[in-house]
């Protein structure tokens, strides 16, 4: 049986971890908004495999940066994690053409100025996907006891890379992008990628 002091320490640690994860998502959103303002909806031109390839590049780069002892380019590995979070969220949004139609009024939006109205709607959907993903994270933490806290950055890098390869393999099979209920499907793996990236950022 835990003492009151031990219970308080567990609660304090949990709150501290939750704050760090929340900060990671806030920073990811800030980066997303900045890139959205600079580049517009260029990601609309990506296919499902295009999104998967972008996530693969970021996961591979993160794994390489984490494992290399000496680097010739001093880019922070954390930037790759933020990119994974944002590409996964955009993938989740882009898979539903009805949602895209609600965000963008024009079928040629990719080559048009990004309206303020479209930006606001896109950010709202972005936040919805974050909330769904965090809710999944809370459920898994409850069942698995926040086992991720015992992982290393190298271990998380391996998990990110493996899940990215899994998504690419599923896209080559008959897995549907809209199957939210499949616990091993593309959507579930995208949400896992988002959460593991946030875990890695929280471990820093």
pLDDT tens digits, one per residue of 89-123: 999 999 888 888 888 876 556 656 667 788 888 99
Q: Measured between alpha carbons, how far apart are the two ends of the chain, in Å?
A: 31
pTM summary value: 0.85
pLDDT tens digits, one per residue of 131-157: 999 888 777 765 666 667 788 999 999
Is the pLDDT reported for residue 125 higher than 70?
Answer: yes
* CA atoms of 6 and 18, how far apart (whole Å): 18
The domain ranges of the chain are 4-203
Mean pLDDT score of the chain: 84
Question: Could you tell me if 137 and 195 are in contact, meaning their C-beta atoms sit under 8 angstroms apart?
Answer: yes
**What would the DSSP string read from start to end of 14-38?**
HHHHHHHHHHHHHHHHHHHHHHHHH
Angle between helices 4-39 and 78-94 (to 10 degrees): 70
């Amino acid at each position: 049986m835990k003492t009151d002091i031990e219970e308080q320490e567990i609660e304090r640690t949990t709150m501290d971890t939750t704050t760090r994860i929340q900060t990671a998502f806030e920073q990811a959103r800030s980066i997303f908004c900045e890139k959205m303002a600079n580049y517009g909806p260029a990601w609309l031109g990506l296919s499902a495999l295009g999104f998967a390839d972008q996530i693969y590049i970021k996961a591979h780069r993160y794994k390489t940066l984490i494992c290399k002892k000496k680097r010739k380019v001093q880019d922070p590995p954390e930037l790759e994690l933020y990119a994974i979070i944002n590409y996964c969220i955009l993938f989740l949004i882009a898979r539903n053409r009805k949602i895209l139609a609600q965000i963008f009024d024009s079928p040629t939006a990719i080559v048009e100025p990004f309206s303020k109205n479209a930006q606001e709607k896109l950010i709202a959907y972005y936040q919805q996907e974050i909330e769904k993903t965090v809710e999944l994270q809370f459920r898994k933490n409850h069942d698995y006891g926040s086992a991720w806290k015992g992982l290393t950055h190298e271990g998380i890098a391996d998990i990110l890379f493996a899940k990215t390869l899994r998504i690419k393999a599923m896209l080559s099979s008959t897995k549907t992008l809209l199957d939210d209920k499949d616990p091993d499907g593309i959507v579930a793996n995208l949400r896992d990628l988002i959460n593991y990236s946030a875990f890695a950022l929280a471990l820093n």
